[in-house]
Amino acid sequence: MHEVQGVVARSKGAPVTVETIHVPDPGPGEALVAVQACGVCHTDLHYREGGINDDFPFLLGHEAAGIVEAVGDGVTDVAPGDFVILNWRAVCGQCRACLRGQPWYCFNTHNATQTMTLADGTPLSPALGIGAFAEKTLVAAGQCTKVDPQASPVAVGLLGCGVMAGLGAAINTGGVGRGMSVAVIGCGGVGCAAVMGSRLAGAATIIAVDLDPRKLDWARRLGATDTVNAREQDVVAAIQELTGGFGADVVIEAVGRPETYQQAFYARDLAGTVVLVGVPTPDMKVPELPLIDVFGRGGSLKSSWYGDCLPSRDFPMLVDLYRQGRLDLDAFVSETIGLGEVERAFETMHRGDVLRSVVVL
Ligand SMILES: [Zn+2]
Ligand SMILES: [Zn+2]
């Protein structure tokens, strides 16, 4: 058993605190990871606010990289000393999706079976089955993806969640390719990553849409060719005008609201693709859309889970591109902070002042 410090959300809405936690030695199929860096994601804040479920207390943090310290029986894919990015979708290899050759949709992803606890024995619920705002965490070995150890953990840990979601929404789900036109609605961390992914895939026109001029600046730096301030312009008309009057081939909705989904639906070209990667709240409904428009405009309306990534395929490849200077992950790191500053980082994130605050351990 290991006694370490971790960031815990004890009850709904209460400020998070740094607590002593107990992490078991890895059992069969598990790995103990010494965390080096972990990004602060909106989902951590949603856990704290009770927006995910009520299984308090939560051990927060899920966008991380670190070094495998020990593995349990039967673990062969990773070994102590390996540099890994943690993923929250360890595919099972046996469910309906995995068997039909689409493991990125795996319906039975797994986590560690043993439980981390507070010092008094209270079981902790790790955020997305990871819990990486901690000096050490226990995960399923399949949640560890080995990558080039020369890469900076602060930068590549971000592939563990938000940046992968955005890159994958463009490349995997949206099928963005050379010469295509793309519009990205919402330019926080995920939207900016979708802009970067579209550029990487060779899109010729990349239109960034947001209400906040600072976010439009970030998007432009990461590859947007045009920007639309939704406070000043009609979003659908502006995207059509920038695409020869037609609309974009792919529109990525990175906000997760009915109004922006409706904009995405009408801002795409005939037979175009809408990708929903922003996460809606349970009370939201699909906006009213004439069924004749759903039929008549053709194309596809898709959702993107974690960028439809396959960590074992995508993480090492993206880390290589980062090492070659073709994927600017460093641009997402607005600040590095300590474990005790997560609560403050939530406020900074909520105000939209940063792309990512990253806890360094
Ligand atoms: Zn599966
Ligand atoms: Zn996340």
| pLDDT for 324 | 97
Statement: residue 316 has pLDDT above 90: yes
Secondary structure string (H, E, C) spanning 174-195: CCCCCCCEEEEECCCHHHHHHH
| pLDDT for 296 | 97
Q: Ligand 1 centroid to 107 CA: how many Å?
A: 5
Q: Ligand 2 centroid to 306 CA: how many Å?
A: 9
CB under 5 Å of ion ligand 1: residues:
92, 95, 98, 106, 108
61: Cα separation from own chain's centroid = 12
Relative to the alpha carbon of 129, which ligand is closest? 2
Q: Ligand 1 centroid to 153 CA: how many Å?
A: 28
Sign, Cα dihedral of 351, 354, 358, 359: negative
Statement: residue 131 has pLDDT above 90: yes
Q: What is the mean pLDDT of residues 46-73?
A: 96
pTM score, two decimals?
Answer: 0.95
Q: What is the mean pLDDT of residues 83-87?
A: 98
Relative to the alpha carbon of 86, which ligand is closest? 2
| pLDDT for 327 | 96
Q: Ligand 1 centroid to 317 CA: how many Å?
A: 22
CA-nearest of 60, 58, 129 to 88 is 129
Assigned token pair, 233: 């312009």
Relative to the alpha carbon of 127, which ligand is closest? 2
Q: Ligand 2 centroid to 157 CA: how many Å?
A: 11
Statement: residue 303 has pLDDT above 90: yes
Statement: residue 281 has pLDDT above 90: no
* pLDDT tens-place string over residues 187-218: 999 999 999 999 999 999 999 999 999 999 99
Q: Ligand 1 centroid to 67 CA: how many Å?
A: 26
Q: Ligand 1 centroid to 311 CA: how many Å?
A: 13
Relative to the alpha carbon of 91, which ligand is closest? 1
Q: Ligand 2 centroid to 272 CA: how many Å?
A: 28
Relative to the alpha carbon of 102, which ligand is closest? 1
The region, left, alpha or beta by phi > 0 then psi within -120 to 50, assigned to residue 210 is beta
Statement: residue 140 has pLDDT above 90: yes
